[in-house]
Amino acid sequence: MKILLISPVPTHRPHSGIRARVLSIAGSLRQLGHDIHFVWLRDGSRPLPDLDLATMRTFWGNQCTILPFTLAADARIPRRELLNKSLHPDQWYDSRIDPLLSEILAETECDLLWVEYAYLSKAFEVAPPGILRVLDTIDRFAGRSEHMLGAGVRSEHLIPSFANNDDECAALRRADCIVAIQEAEGEIFSNLLGRKVWTLGHRTDLLTRTDSEPDNPTIAFLASESYVGAANFKHFQHSIFPLLRSTLPGLEVIIGGGVSRILGDLPPGIRVFGETPTVGDLFCRAHMVINSDFCATGLSIKNLTALGHGMPLVTSANGARGLEAGAGSAFLLATSDEQFVDLTLEILTNTEMRTRLSEGARHFVMDYNTTQERTLESLLDTLDGMRRNPV
């Protein structure tokens, strides 16, 4: 099939979980023989480094279109007043792109329009009859802003949020097929709509670690430049790290990803590694990975990435959302700060446990990836049947 894939985030370089998700979807569709044209809705408030843009253009060639897009342009409300607010889905949209989307749809003669995120579902209205519509939700937006504020997280960037379930349903109903990234969200959407929702997790690369471990006990933390990621690390820094350091004075924590740009001053023992060509450059310098997530939503792609690299992992219960089946064998799950400290120390001081968790992570990711591949193939078979036999 010819597929037009629309996303508010670029595919390269995949430093963040969301970029990795979109790139994984695109790569999987390509691998299955489909013709993909990628449309990136570029919000000028979040500039893309030249290297990222060049890498993305090399990957896509002439099958990539970049459209200027202003998040929440249709709300006609000053940007500062939109911070940490909930809006109707269509208010997060920028309808100025519609004529351009219409031209692209005509030029590509696509069979299927695949849209990332429910707040862009208004793009489906541009598609003429006969084009199938797939919405990859990635996250749940009803009450999202209130959830973050309740957790004490305020963002200086616009983060889409819907006021209630009715708003979310209005966006979801525009799609012929709805995709959730984890089962819990899929069940919520299915119950709200009374119809089938597909669950398609994130397929991650499976890599074998060959580097020797560092001499000093070292923990890696990975997050993109987001205030949620920053809040999660600050919780670790203030509530967990001092207890770890008191037992292991030589302990180091290295921070990978763009989150370091908004963390502020850091105490001794915590240093910035930043963004690298591959996350393996970060992981090879650590014994393990931690994710003290207490407020994020959606699937924790960073956890999957760590497991795919065979890294021993301690995560909070919130960080394990969508991956619960791997708890105890692929990673360790902490339900309190005290348990987080104990489990982290156990991994750092026990070589045998690190080996066992690394092997468990590899087996878990292999099985997980197989499930996602089968689900995607089944979804595409269903869509092809709908295309050939329209109702």
pLDDT digits (tens, 9 = 90+) for 313-325: 999 998 999 999 9
Residues in the chain: 391
**What's residue 211's pLDDT?**
64
Angstrom distance (rounded) from CA 278 to CA 12:
12
Evaluate whether residue 304 is within a structural domain: yes
Residue 143 shares a structural domain with residue 240:
no
% of the chain with per-residue pLDDT over 70: 99
Evaluate whether residue 376 is within a structural domain: no
Of the residues 200, 226, 258, the one at which a domain ends: 200
**What's residue 150's pLDDT?**
84
Residue 63 shares a structural domain with residue 117:
yes
**Would you state the structure tokens that stand for residue 333, as one six-digit string?**
């799950």
Residue 14 shares a structural domain with residue 93:
yes
Residue 262 shares a structural domain with residue 314:
yes
Mean pLDDT score of the chain: 93
CATH of residue 268's domain is 3.40.50.2000
CA distances from 380 to 3, 106, 133, 134 (A): 11, 22, 12, 10
Domain that holds residue 284: 218-367
Residue 189 shares a structural domain with residue 294:
no
Question: CA neighbours within 13 Å on the CB side: how many for 101?
Answer: 26
CATH of residue 69's domain is 3.40.50.11930
**What's residue 142's pLDDT?**
95
Per-residue pLDDT reduced to its tens digit, 177-223: 999 999 999 999 999 999 999 999 999 988 876 666 778 899 999 99
Residue 156 shares a structural domain with residue 269:
no
Q: Where are the alpha helices (DSSP H) in the chain?
A: 17-31, 50-60, 98-108, 144-150, 165-172, 183-193, 227-239, 241-247, 280-283, 301-308, 337-348, 351-388
**Would you state the structure tokens that stand for residue 47, as one six-digit string?**
């500039």
**What's residue 388's pLDDT?**
85
Question: How would residue 33 be classed by pLDDT, with cut points 50, 70 and 90?
Answer: very high
Residue 161 shares a structural domain with residue 307:
no
Judged on CB neighbours under 10 Å (0-12, 13-18, 19+), 95 is middle
Question: CA neighbours within 13 Å on the CB side: how many for 314?
Answer: 25
Q: Is pLDDT of 233 > 70? A: yes
Q: Is pLDDT of 228 > 90? A: no
Evaluate whether residue 383 is within a structural domain: no
Residue 173 shares a structural domain with residue 85:
yes
Residue 79 shares a structural domain with residue 193:
yes
Return all residues near 305 (Cβ < 8 A) that are at least 6 apart: 17, 20, 204, 222, 279
Contact of 12 with 51, CB cutoff 8 Å: no
Task: Give me the number of domains the chain comprises.
Answer: 2
Residue 151 shares a structural domain with residue 241:
no
**What's residue 215's pLDDT?**
82
Residue 164 shares a structural domain with residue 128:
yes
Evaluate whether residue 373 is within a structural domain: no
Q: Once rounded to an integer, what is the mean pLDDT over residues 56-82?
A: 94
Evaluate whether residue 206 is within a structural domain: no
Buried b (16+ CB within 10 A) or exposed e, 158-174: bbbbbbebebbbebbeb
Evaluate whether residue 387 is within a structural domain: no
Q: Once rounded to an integer, what is the mean pLDDT over residues 239-250?
A: 96
Q: Is pLDDT of 129 > 90? A: yes
Contact of 267 with 232, CB cutoff 8 Å: no
Q: For 27-36, 76-85, 353-362, which range has the lowest pLDDT when averaged over its residues? A: 76-85
Residue 190 shares a structural domain with residue 242:
no
Evaluate whether residue 207 is within a structural domain: no
**Would you state the structure tokens that stand for residue 124, as one six-digit string?**
């489906």
Q: Is pLDDT of 47 > 80? A: yes
Mutual orientation of helices 351-388 and 301-308 as an angle, nearest 10°?
Answer: 120
3-class DSSP state of 69 = coil
Evaluate whether residue 85 is within a structural domain: yes
Instruction: Give the amino acid at 119.
Output: Y
The model carries a pTM of 0.93
Q: Which residue has the higher pLDDT, 370 or 215?
A: 370
